[in-house]
Amino acid sequence: FKRRFIRTQRLRYQTHLPKILTVETNVVSSGVNSKSSGIDDEVKKAFPNLYGRPVFKFEKNKAEKIEHKAIKVGIVFSGGPAPGGHNVIVGLYDLIKSHNKNSEVWGIYHSMTGLYEESYIVLNDEIIDQYRNIGGFNMILTGRKYTDPEIALPAFSKFCKTSGLNALVVVGGDGSNTRAAELAEYLCQKNQDVQVVGIPKTIDGDIKNRFIETSFGFDTATKVYSQLIGNIMIDALSSEKYWHFIKVMGRSASHVALECALKTHPNMVLIGEEIEKQNKTLNDVICDICDLIEERSKKGLKHGVLIIPEGLIEFIPEFSVLINECNQIVKENKDREERWTREEMLEKLKGNSLKLYSSLPKGIARELLYSKDWCGDITLSKIATDKLLKWSCRKELKRRSYKDFNCMTHFFGYEGRCGYPSNFDCDYCYVLGNTAGRFIESGITGVMCGVNGTWKKTEEWIPFGMPFPEMFLMKSNGFQKGLNPVAKRILVDLKGVPFKTLLKYRGIWRMDDDYYACGPIQYHGDTKDERTITLLLEQRN
Ligand code: FBP
């Protein structure tokens, strides 16, 4: 009964809109051209139609009332779930239905795969009303399957012609938005009047740039992880006997680890980007942790909390060489169907990589050979870095004759991806859906929707559309030959204010247990609905 009650309360949450989205609007250029000097010439060539367009924004329509024709808009979820996704659909649905009740939103099942398999549902009020402000991607499901663009693009173009679909909204991370940009460019080249618009989704927080301030889901996920970390901290303080090694999701970038550290004040947090810059080996990292364990122990502190980013090992140079060599060996034998075994890899590797690989616990060595994502990258969430560090610290501390090391490991990942979205993520996603709808109605294609001033009150936000090429670089994507345009994943900026803030405080947190247990997300009552610390520190005008 209680669970139902909470769900009902969540369904009733009233999302807010920026002032400009409460009126009829026209799309205008913001005056900012997205031609960035940082864009590779090859990217420009790959997007001759999309490159060089301005960043679009809205202004109030002062002319006569706009007649909105009925349209059919498809929407896909792609990649890992992120809290708030359903509200993107709801925001889009509410907008286009309010403009013309004959317009339709088609929920495409299982990401892009649904497009090629023509598997979709025409959404209606009854379905939509069950998912307002509710976490998860289960309304239309998600997927990660990669389809070769040479097959996918013509198939989608044909599907639009036969079905009469006018536009597609892609809710995804870097991979999905790469697909969305290719599709938008392809349709322009074919003179096909179908719009493709992207939405920045990922709990990892790595889809951002000089225009996009944050991806949705990062706010809720980091609040959920921080609550759990805070609880563990209080337990550590209460029993004073365990070190807790906590790995948090976030793929390559350490944004999630950094945000959780700023919120909870652990004794130590590892930031992959810093470790790479300092060119540290695994042994250096282990020695740093063990030094702290010993230092605390001398003061009678046998407990502690360490936060580890999911992508840590990618940033340890000797590991990235090893991962590349393993990838290379697997790719050279791509016709092979059976899984590689540890023993076979030991026969193939040479030099330092062989030394490192053979020194790893067998389980970790095997995990390194397991599944790859669409880019051919190792799926980091499957590698138990927390356990690797525990195992290596135990070995090192034994060598130092230290006996009091009791360690518990944790991985917080999936539990943060589908929680009830915070009020921020509810509003942000609703606004992104509404924004996407307005661009589509105005015939704008090839943009990612964003909001300027997300750290302010929702009413003051300024929504915009950033042309896709702004976020691309040339890279091997693991499937097509040579280099191809791929959306960038943005890493932690070591010169940025959030990291500098960590530098200021982390020395204090090592020995003083200044733990901060922030408790669960507040949905009701007198909530300030705090933004992430990252967003507040990066505040842009
Ligand atoms: P995307 O948002 O980029 O799809 O990734 C989110 C994520 O949760 C990563 O943090 C994590 O590494 C990965 O998905 C796990 O993938 P899977 O759901 O396939 O296990």
Q: What does pLDDT average to in each consecutive run of 10 residues of the chain (541 residues)?
A: 70 95 95 70 90 94 91 97 98 98 97 89 97 96 86 91 96 92 96 97 95 97 98 97 97 96 98 97 97 98 97 91 84 77 92 94 85 62 91 97 97 96 97 98 97 95 96 78 86 97 98 96 76 90 52
Report the residue among 176, 220, 370, 381 best suited for mutation to probe ligand 1: largest number of ligand atoms under 8 A from its CB: 381
For residue 113, the CA-to-ligand 1 centroid distance in Å is 18
- Nearest-atom index, ligand 1, CA of 174: 3
Whose structure tokens read 């356990």?
Answer: 387
Burial (CB < 10 A; 0-12, 13-18, 19+), residue 207, is buried
For residue 171, the CA-to-ligand 1 centroid distance in Å is 14
Separation of alpha carbons 81 and 203, rounded Å: 8
For residue 487, the CA-to-ligand 1 centroid distance in Å is 16
The two tokens of residue 86 are: 């359903």
Backbone φ and ψ for 311, nearest 5 degrees, come out as -90, 10
pLDDT of residue 285: 98
Residue 244, amino acid = H
Ligand 1 near 200 CB (within 6 A): no
Please tell me whether residue 349 adopts helix, strand or coil conformation. coil
Burial 435-447 (b: 16+ CB within 10 A, else e): bbbbbbbbebbbb
Alpha helices in 372-529 (DSSP H): 385-399, 423-441, 497-511
Burial (CB < 10 A; 0-12, 13-18, 19+), residue 62, is exposed
* Single pTM value for the model: 0.95
CA distances from 426 to 12, 82, 421, 431 (A): 12, 11, 6, 9
Report the residue among 146, 176, 201, 204 best suited for mutation to probe ligand 1: largest number of ligand atoms under 8 A from its CB: 204
pLDDT of residue 58: 98
Segment (H or E) for 63:
none
Report the residue among 144, 222, 249 best suited for mutation to probe ligand 1: largest number of ligand atoms under 8 A from its CB: 249
- Nearest-atom index, ligand 1, CA of 249: 10
Return all residues near 105 (Cβ < 8 A) that are at least 6 apart. Answer: 73, 74, 75, 89, 92, 93, 96, 97, 122, 123
CA distances from 39 to 42, 194, 448, 486 (A): 8, 26, 16, 12
Tell me which residue has its CA closest to atom 2 in ligand 1. 202
Tell me which residue has its CA closest to atom 1 in ligand 1. 80
Give the residue numbers marked as catalytic.
204
**Which residues are 57's β-sheet partners?**
28, 464
pLDDT of residue 5: 67
Ligand 1 near 203 CB (within 6 A): yes
Tell me which residue has its CA closest to atom 18 in ligand 1. 80
Separation of alpha carbons 361 and 341, rounded Å: 14
Cα 468–Cα 103–Cα 124 angle in degrees, nearest 5: 100
pLDDT of residue 37: 58
CA distances from 288 to 185, 306, 412, 501 (A): 49, 12, 23, 20
For residue 201, the CA-to-ligand 1 centroid distance in Å is 11
pLDDT of residue 335: 75
Ligand 1 near 81 CB (within 6 A): no
Reported as half-sphere exposure (CB side, CA atoms, 13 A), residue 188 has a value of: 18
Whose structure tokens read 């002032």?
Answer: 19
Please tell me whether residue 453 adopts helix, strand or coil conformation. coil
Tell me which residue has its CA closest to atom 7 in ligand 1. 80
Ligand 1 near 204 CB (within 6 A): yes
Segment (H or E) for 281:
none
Regarding beta strands 120-122 and 104-108, do their DSSP bridges make them parallel or antiparallel, or are they unpaired?
A: antiparallel
Complex confidence, ipTM = 0.98
Please tell me whether residue 143 adopts helix, strand or coil conformation. coil
pLDDT of residue 43: 87
Segment (H or E) for 102:
none
Ligand 1 near 247 CB (within 6 A): no
Residue 444, amino acid = I
Tell me which residue has its CA closest to atom 11 in ligand 1. 251
Strands (E), 201-300: 243-248, 268-269
Ligand 1 near 79 CB (within 6 A): yes
